[in-house]
């Protein structure tokens, strides 16, 4: 089913997702998170007088790349708002263990009701941004762009892709609607790479066309068909060198499959335009954060 138009980002080439373009999605994600947590009411918060005001701080217990400010702010806005939210670091900043991230002041019930939802978003998104930063640091002077994939947590696609950009990496397609990615099953169903690319140009001539190839023969056909990008999937060293020696015209190369932090440095010298890593969003550990309430 096609996503609601207000969430669709139409892109002609890899780009970094912009926060302002996903405001509606942030609102939706926070609303759903609060609904599943609060249900018909936070009964523990009822222990606190309704008019009590407190200050709270969120600190990080480990080094990380901060991400998730808009999700925290939206959480407390939907609960009725706070008196003040003072950030001590910004999305994309590198913060050290023990650092104070934000100071909150307002109604004590709201602070505690929104605590877990706010922390869940910041922990996950900071974890995603931190992993992206680790990858980006390995190729600081390279022209290769490190891309994410669609292997994201359901319902948090745009949130995680925003976090990727905070960590210094880049977004691949946002969903199934903004570019063609022709894989093995598409090729089989269409009757070949050439036929698939030609059909894609007919359907949406303004959209990028990428073809995933697994053999040298498929690579040659994809280049001949004038694909915008060819994804070299699990190419061994010999096949990679073969690809580097080809006249690929204006086709760009994306490397994918069996890539990790250990072997990323080894491809820095290759004539590759992009490397994509599912691990950026699916192998993420939440950052250890803590919210502390004061009088």
Q: Which residues are catalytic?
A: 116, 151, 183, 212, 233
Do 173 and 182 form a contact (C-beta atoms < 8 A)? no
Distance CA(195)–CA(121), nearest Å, equals 43
Which DSSP symbol is given to 141?
Answer: T
Helices and strands (H and E) in the chain: how many: 10, 12
Sequence-ordered strand ranges (E) for 136-294? 145-147, 180-182, 209-213, 229-233, 252-256, 274-276, 289-294
Do 275 and 146 form a contact (C-beta atoms < 8 A)? yes
Of all helices (H) and strands (E), which one includes residue 84? strand 84-87
Strand order in the sheet with 229-233: 145-147, 274-276, 252-256, 229-233, 209-213, 180-182
């Amino acid at each position: 089913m096609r996503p609601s138009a207000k969430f669709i980002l139409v892109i002609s080439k890899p780009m970094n997702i912009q926060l302002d373009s996903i405001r509606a999605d942030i609102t939706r994600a926070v609303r759903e998170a609060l609904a599943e947590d609060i249900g018909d009411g936070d009964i523990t918060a009822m222990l606190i007088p309704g008019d009590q005001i407190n200050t709270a701080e969120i600190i990080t217990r480990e080094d990380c790349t901060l991400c998730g400010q808009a999700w925290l702010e939206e959480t407390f806005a939907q609960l009725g708002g706070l008196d003040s939210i003072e950030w001590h670091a910004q999305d994309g900043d590198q913060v050290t263990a023990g650092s104070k991230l934000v100071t909150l002041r307002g109604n004590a019930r709201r602070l505690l009701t929104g605590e877990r939802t706010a922390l869940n978003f910041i922990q996950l998104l900071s974890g995603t941004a931190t992993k992206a930063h680790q990858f980006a640091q390995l190729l600081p002077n390279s022209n290769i762009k490190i891309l994410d994939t669609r292997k994201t947590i359901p319902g948090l696609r745009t949130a995680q892709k925003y976090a990727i950009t905070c960590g210094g990496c880049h977004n691949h397609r946002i969903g199934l609607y903004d570019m063609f990615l022709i894989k093995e099953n598409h090729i089989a169903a269409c009757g070949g790479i050439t036929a698939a690319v030609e059909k894609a140009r007919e359907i949406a001539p303004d959209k990028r066309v990428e073809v995933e190839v697994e053999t040298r023969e498929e690579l040659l056909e994809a280049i001949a068909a004038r694909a915008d990008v060819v994804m070299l999937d699990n190419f061994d060293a010999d096949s990679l060198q073969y690809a580097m020696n080809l006249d690929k015209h204006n086709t760009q190369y994306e490397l994918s499959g069996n890539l990790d932090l250990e072997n990323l440095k080894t491809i820095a010298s290759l004539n590759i335009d992009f490397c994509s890593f599912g691990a950026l969003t699916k192998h993420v550990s939440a950052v250890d954060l803590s919210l502390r309430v004061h009088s």
